[in-house]
Amino acid sequence: MKRRIASAVCALLVAGASLAAASSISPAKPVFRVDTATAKADPRTPRQLVVEAQGAVRSGGWENARLRVKTSQKANTMMIVFVAIPPAPHAMVVQAVLPVKATVTVPMPDKGITEVQIAGETNTVTAKILR
């Protein structure tokens, strides 16, 4: 009897672990909105550009907020998408708009690129590059 119970418990633990692993694989999605953005030369290494963004997600449970550099259609603009991994579809999370922030350091772009656009789900914020 004890072996059956132990086997059942082990099976439940394995099933729970695989569900947790499957939920963390969900792709990153744009955050709800971008509130502020800055782009400036790294004072320690001037050939690096530090881009910071603050924004919000629609609920709790969002993880691993980051900035992804994308190709831009404009010659003078670096395009970045502000993304995070959303909670699992049936996860119990706080239903409130919550703050989120991310930073990325990239090689300093050419002089022709003068601004950075950071896009979220509902808006885009532009920051001038401070060299």
pLDDT of 12 higher than 70: no
List 50's β-bridge partners, or say none. Answer: 40, 105
Residue 46 confidence class, pLDDT cut points 50, 70, 90:
confident
The mean per-residue pLDDT over the stretch 80-99 comes to 96
How many C-beta atoms lie closer than 10 Å to residue 128's C-beta?
Answer: 12
The mean per-residue pLDDT over the stretch 33-37 comes to 98
Buried b (16+ CB within 10 A) or exposed e, 91-118: eeeeeeeeebebebebebbeeebeebbb
Buried b (16+ CB within 10 A) or exposed e, 42-64: eeeeeeebbbbbbbbbbeebbee
Asked if residues 105 and 46 have their Cβ atoms less than 8 Å apart, the reply is no
In whole angstroms, how large is the CA radius of gyration of the chain? 20
pLDDT of 11 higher than 70: no
Higher pLDDT, 46 or 115: 115
pLDDT of 10 higher than 70: no
Place of tokens 């907020």: 65
Distances in Å between the Cα of 67 and the Cα atoms of 80, 83, 86, 118 are 6, 6, 15, 8
